Structure 1
Amino acid sequence: MPAPRVPREDQHPYAIVPGTRVVQALVPASVREDPLLSAVIDDRLDTEVREEMAGQSAAAWLPRRHLTATVVGPAAWPMQIVALMTRKDAPIGAVVEHDGAQPTLIGAVTTDTLIEYVIGGP
């Protein structure tokens, strides 16, 4: 899967984010701001980061800003999906069906699938 799906407690997708965004959340801000720090930091920081995040859900430690799931219903047209994925800069969209208040993930649409559909094949 090109991007992890991060569910909320009710299992509705909280976010579907590019893997690089997830990895970015694992790196302390000081190292993101000054990548040269990564060359001089020992494995103690790795241990600290793992311990800090242990037991937390991904939804708890992903950045709160600009993260919303790219979710469509099963009746969405390809151009609707393309427009939503483009607007959210998402490589994958969740197809969710609602049975009352309970959402069910029934599939996913990737950018590769959409490109193949639009241009007529692989």
Structure 2
Amino acid sequence: MSRVTLHRIESGSPSVTVGALVNAAEAVGLTIELSTTRPPVEERDEQAPVDPGMVEMVRVGDYPLLRAAVWQLDADTVLDGFEALRTYERNWRHLDHATVGTQEKALIQALADRYSKGVLLV
């Protein structure tokens, strides 16, 4: 491996190939392993289903996908319902849908029902 490639790896350059990253990892004694299994997702139903009339204000920390979408905000931040729906729609392609719980699914549907006639615009 050339010094230039090693410098690119160290600086985080996007032009480095995966093969070069694997070679650098092996050179320092690390092994890279790919796995097709995902950790199990536990369903949590702490609260009752969301009432469409009660989605005026949404606390960011109560919903993991919303928290991931607005990572720069504090968990105690409260968004109004319309802003929460637009945040979900704007960041939909970046979110891990396999980890969404039933409570958050109900919230997203309630927001869509209230603000966009039941349709999530993604």
Q: TM-score, normalised by structure 2?
A: 0.29
Structure holding more helix per residue: 2
Q: TM-score, normalised by structure 1?
A: 0.29
Structure holding more strand per residue: 1
Q: Which has the larger radius of gyration?
A: 2
